[in-house]
Amino acid sequence: MSVLEENPDSPLKKRPPSWSDIWLKNTKPLKHVVFAMQLQSLASKDPKSQTLIPKFANIDRTLLLPDELLLKILSRLPISQRNPNSLVCKRWLNLQGRLVRSLKILDWDFLESGRLITRFPNLTHVDLLNGCLFSPRNSWILLTHRMVKMQTSSDFCSNWKLLEASLLPVEIVDRGLQALANGCPNLRRLVLINASELGLLTVAEECLTLQELELHKCNDNVLRGIAACENLQILKLVGNVDGLYSSLVSDIGLTILAQGCKRLVKLELSGCEGSFDGIKAIGQCCLMLEELTISDHRMDDGWLAALSFCENLKTLKLLSCKRIDLSPGPDEYLGFCPALERLHLQKCQLRSKKSVRALFRVCEAVREVVVQDCWGFDNDMFSYASVCRRVKFLSLEGCSLLTTGGLEAVILSWHELENLIVVSCKNIKESDISPALATLFSILKELRWRPDAKSLLASTLVGTGMGKRGGKFFKRT
């Protein structure tokens, strides 16, 4: 039946092009035919079968469906079906595993024993954070701090060094990283805690595509390992976390980082120390840096002025900072970030006039200002924002010290303002809106005005009459 059994023609006559010629170039159909032939030979052993077709039906059909087709079908199934599918049979375990790209590892042994790589050979995004924590499985006390989740038993030590006590030792983490680096050459994103520079060097050497790294309990030495990841674009470092652990990231580490990771686009520094010099190094070396987030910093005063070295910085976020910069230095050395577009202040203490004034001067080019749940942000503080003449978008949420007068004083001088959001600012009263302000509101593209509403009011409370006052919502798009 098969054309492969054709008699070769005599060498003098040119053979007309045949189906087998194209098969030899495109072997996919060839494999099908070979399969079919093999199955037919199996089938013909049965004396009762006469034709090809009935026997086809009795044989396991997925043996005929090649891997690539099954993979296409499996990839269209929901993620919730992955684990059940892995129990269908061993071949499916393998196929399903090949489709998984992103995982959080919870058990370190799963990684070290190699089971992770065997089951999931195509991982690109790996989160080892909770895997590095040893937690007894059958205790019912769950401790969470942002992304860190651990179960702890009731006899934890009284000085609260819970996390330190539960962390896997550095040597073990490094060993696991070695296994991971060898098994996931295409790794793109990695989250971990308590690694040493050696472990990170292994990853840097094997995983050349590593683009995103999140390192908890980081210190200056570890940053030497990170500097070897040349293609790193997104980096988050966590140094100190109050109550959980302390770990020092200083100017030394920041400078090493700056010189090694020149392709950084997004950087988040959480609980880090350092000063002007460290930030300056980053600004001067990481020319592609677009987004800088500083969270709960412990930096020395005077660092703000270094921001002007970040010439391509587009977004600056300050989160949970207990102070900004208590002694920012004279104005002529402050400079400003020429490309800055967005300034976000969330949960910060804005009690120092010098700080806030210097901050707005450094950010005078911004187009978008978001202030959310910050303490000490009163009319005087906000008045320093008038220096930012190009603001188009302003969002104020939870600024309970601001009054309508204070708001008006600033935004009337912002001639490019187009979007205004005011939510949960209880001292901003509608009754204080002046005619000039009302005129400004009428020409805005977007206005969301809910100063009296509690921003966390659930929709289920709507019928009870709570939060009924101040529910106006103007939006002209």
Partner 1 sequence: MSMAAVETKKITLRTADNHEFEVEEAIAMEFSTIKTFFDENPDASEDTIPLPNVTSKCLSAIIEYCKSHLAFRARETSSSIDEQVRTYDEEFVKARDNESLKELILAANYLNIKALLDMLNQAVADRIKNKSVEYVRRFFGLENDYTPEEEAAIRAENEWAFEGVDPDDD
Q: In 44-99, which ranges are continuous DSSP H helix?
A: 52-58, 61-64, 67-74, 82-86, 90-99
**Does 76 sit near partner 1 (CB under 8 A)?**
yes
Dump the DSSP string for 303-315.
-GGGGGG-TT--E
Using the rule CB under 8 A, which residue among 13, 14, 48, 137 binds partner 1? 137
The dihedral formed by the CA atoms of 133, 179, 264 and 269, expressed in degrees to the nearest 10: 10
Q: How far apart are CA 25 and CA 15, in angstroms?
A: 17
Q: How far apart are CA 288 and CA 234, in angstroms?
A: 11
Sign of CA dihedral 151, 156, 162, 164: negative
Site string for partner 1, 155-174 (x = CB under 8 A): --------------------
**Does 78 sit near partner 1 (CB under 8 A)?**
yes
**Does 143 sit near partner 1 (CB under 8 A)?**
no
**Does 16 sit near partner 1 (CB under 8 A)?**
yes
What type of residue sits at position 68? E
Using the rule CB under 8 A, which residue among 9, 15, 29, 141 binds partner 1? 29
Q: In 308-395, which ranges are continuous DSSP H helix?
A: 353-362, 379-383
**Does 435 sit near partner 1 (CB under 8 A)?**
no
Helix (H, G, I), strand (E, B), or coil: what is residue 40?
A: helix
**Does 354 sit near partner 1 (CB under 8 A)?**
no
Q: What's the closest the beta carbon of residue 17 comes to partner 1, in angstroms?
A: 4
Using the rule CB under 8 A, which residue among 24, 27, 44, 73 binds partner 1? 73
Q: What's the closest the beta carbon of residue 95 comes to partner 1, in angstroms?
A: 12
**Does 2 sit near partner 1 (CB under 8 A)?**
yes
Structure tokens at 93: 């375990």
**Does 456 sit near partner 1 (CB under 8 A)?**
no
Q: How far apart are CA 217 and CA 239, in angstroms?
A: 5
Using the rule CB under 8 A, which residue among 7, 8, 10, 26 binds partner 1? 26
**Does 93 sit near partner 1 (CB under 8 A)?**
yes
Q: CB under 8 A: which stretch of 51-59, 320-328, 404-412, 425-433 binds partner 1?
A: 51-59
| Residue whose CB is less far from partner 1, 149 or 314 | 149
Using the rule CB under 8 A, which residue among 94, 103, 301, 336 binds partner 1? 103
| Residue whose CB is less far from partner 1, 66 or 185 | 66
Query: From its phi and psi, is residue 257 left (phi > 0), alpha (psi between -120 and 50) or beta?
Result: alpha
**Does 231 sit near partner 1 (CB under 8 A)?**
no
Q: CB under 8 A: which stretch of 86-94, 287-295, 363-371, 388-396 binds partner 1?
A: 86-94
**Does 291 sit near partner 1 (CB under 8 A)?**
no
Size of the site for partner 1 (CB under 8 A): 62
Q: CB under 8 A: which stretch of 65-73, 157-165, 408-416, 468-476 binds partner 1?
A: 65-73
Q: What's the closest the beta carbon of residue 216 comes to partner 1, in angstroms?
A: 17
Rg, the chain, Cα only: 31
Q: How far apart are CA 34 and CA 337, in angstroms?
A: 67
- CA 209 to the chain's CA centroid: 16
Using the rule CB under 8 A, which residue among 79, 157, 438, 458 binds partner 1? 79
| Residue whose CB is less far from partner 1, 96 or 308 | 96
How many residues comprise the chain?
477
Q: In 215-314, which ranges are continuous DSSP H helix?
A: 220-226, 251-260, 276-285
**Does 82 sit near partner 1 (CB under 8 A)?**
yes
In the block, tokens 């060097």 appear at 201
Q: How far apart are CA 246 and CA 104, in angstroms?
A: 24
In the block, tokens 């805005």 appear at 444
Structure tokens at 51: 């034709």
**Does 10 sit near partner 1 (CB under 8 A)?**
no
Closest CA to 340 of 365, 322, 360, 305: 365
Using the rule CB under 8 A, which residue among 9, 22, 24, 243 binds partner 1? 22
**Does 85 sit near partner 1 (CB under 8 A)?**
yes
Please give the biggest Cα pair distance in the chain.
103
Interaction site with partner 1 (CB under 8 A):
1-3, 16-17, 19, 21-22, 26, 28-29, 32-33, 36, 51-53, 56-57, 60-62, 64-66, 69, 72-74, 76-90, 92-93, 100-107, 109-110, 115-116, 119, 125, 127, 137
